[in-house]
Amino acid sequence: MEFVVLDTETTGLSVERGARLIEVAGVRVRDWKVYRNDAFESLIDPGCIIPITITALTGISNLTVKGKPSVADVLK
């Protein structure tokens, strides 16, 4: 069995309220073995202010994502 485990961090929980991605990561797993050398991680500039509650939760701040690629560029 082979699959990819994905993880995301966002500016909130509700897309309807404008939540956006600020980080995406993935790692390949085959036969229940994690292939750390086949992993991906990228911070994303959401184009909006990251709430202080999200920074406290994730450690990702507005300064952390300044100059990082957009979600469209990361997901190409």
| pLDDT, tens digit, 9 for 90 and up, residues 48-60 | 999 999 999 999 9
Whether residue 4 has pLDDT greater than 90: yes
Phi, psi values for residue 21, rounded to 5°: -70, 140
Burial of 2 (0-12, 13-18, 19+ CB in 10 A): exposed
Q: How is the chain split into domains, by residue range?
A: 2-74
| pLDDT, tens digit, 9 for 90 and up, residues 16-29 | 998 999 999 999 99
Given CATH 3.90.1180.10, say whether it is the number of domain 2-74: no
Written as one letter, the residue type at 24 is V
Written as one letter, the residue type at 37 is N
| Nearest residue to 51 (alpha-carbon basis) of 8, 16, 20 | 20
- pTM, 2 dp: 0.88
